[in-house]
């Protein structure tokens, strides 16, 4: 077994170009497995029951389900390599189901916390006006951080109250922009124009820009949200995703239809929206029925 493991690790390094930290992780995972089934065991003798016993033992000894799932993935890669090399006839690890992982629920803010966060008075300078507009829009429209960063000035129609967004897979959607966010953008846009003029970047199309006149990056937006949350003294880690989740949760608690929330968030399936809102299915059904007891076409599937 050990000879085959060494061959596999060499394959990862030379043929796959795997980074060293990945190789180290695979080494540890396979060492754990060999300790259970025997270092001298012939790989062709190992079956799905051995792999299943290994995964169960990892969970039983206190490893997280995520760690157990990662070690199963390492075994799948290892036996896939052995199958290509003709050492085994099949990949026994592919017959074993990965442990079900419980994903932590995203945090969301209360209505009061959200209002305080987005409405902080930082003054009338360029940065303060930009940050206010950014926060108002993030909460108003529930955009992903990448969508916020990707907005251009021409993407937002303040008169009509909506913005054009390109989400995952470059899919376009139209999202409403609330009155407070429109007011904040109207205050920010003249300051943006003055800043770009002063740094010789008047042709820049990005809606949210840095002091040098370039597009504000995803990371910079995360830092803005974190800084403002800390200034307010909000507990825990607050991110742009927190605002997106808060947007969806407040809409749902207000009785909004799930299909509407799904469209606003840009989710491909309703099941994603259900998970995102962290409510059980019965509560989702109750809210849906209360909001739209006479849906136009309840049997239609997207």
Catalytically active residues are: 144, 168, 241, 244, 267, 276
Please give the Cα distance from 122 to 188 (Å, whole number): 13
Q: What are phi and psi of 156, to 5 degrees?
A: -105, 130
Rounded distance, CA 42 to CA 54, Å? 16
- With CA atoms as reference, report the closest residue to 119 among 134, 129, 132, 128: 132
Rounded CA-CA distance 45/38 in Å is 11
Tokens of residue 75, six digits: 């075994």
- Are the CB atoms for 162 and 177 separated by under 8 Å? yes
Residue 117 near residue 135 (C-beta atoms within 8 A)? yes
């Amino acid at each position: 077994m050990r000879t085959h493991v060494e061959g596999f690790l060499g394959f990862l390094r030379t043929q796959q170009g795997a980074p060293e930290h990945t190789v180290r992780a695979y080494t540890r995972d396979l060492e754990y497995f060999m300790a259970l089934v025997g270092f001298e065991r012939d790989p062709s003798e190992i079956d799905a029951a051995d792999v299943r016993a290994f995964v169960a033992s990892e969970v039983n000894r206190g490893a997280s389900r995520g760690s157990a799932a990662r070690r199963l993935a390492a075994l799948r890669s290892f036996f896939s390599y052995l199958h290509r090399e003709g050492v085994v006839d099949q990949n026994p690890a592919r017959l074993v189901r990965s442990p079900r992982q419980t994903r932590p629920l995203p945090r969301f803010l209360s209505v009061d916390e959200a209002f305080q966060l987005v409405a902080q008075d930082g003054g009338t300078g360029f940065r303060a006006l930009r940050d206010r507009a950014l926060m108002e829009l993030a909460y108003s429209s529930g955009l992903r951080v990448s969508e916020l960063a990707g907005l251009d000035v021409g993407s937002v129609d303040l008169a009509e109250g909506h913005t054009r967004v390109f989400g995952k897979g470059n899919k376009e959607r139209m999202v409403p922009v609330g009155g407070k966010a429109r007011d904040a953008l109207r205050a920010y846009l003249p300051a943006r124009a003055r800043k770009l003029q002063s740094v010789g970047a008047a042709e820049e199309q990005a809606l949210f820009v840095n002091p040098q006149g370039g597009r504000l990056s995803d990371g910079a937006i995360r830092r803005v949200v974190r800084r403002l949350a800390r200034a307010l003294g909000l507990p825990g880690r607050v991110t742009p995703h927190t605002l997106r989740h808060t947007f969806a949760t407040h809409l749902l608690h207000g009785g909004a239809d799930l299909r509407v929330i799904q469209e606003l968030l840009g989710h491909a399936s309703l099941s994603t929206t259900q998970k995102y809102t962290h409510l059980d299915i019965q509560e989702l059904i109750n809210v849906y029925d209360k909001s739209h007891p006479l849906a136009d076409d309840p049997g239609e599937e997207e």
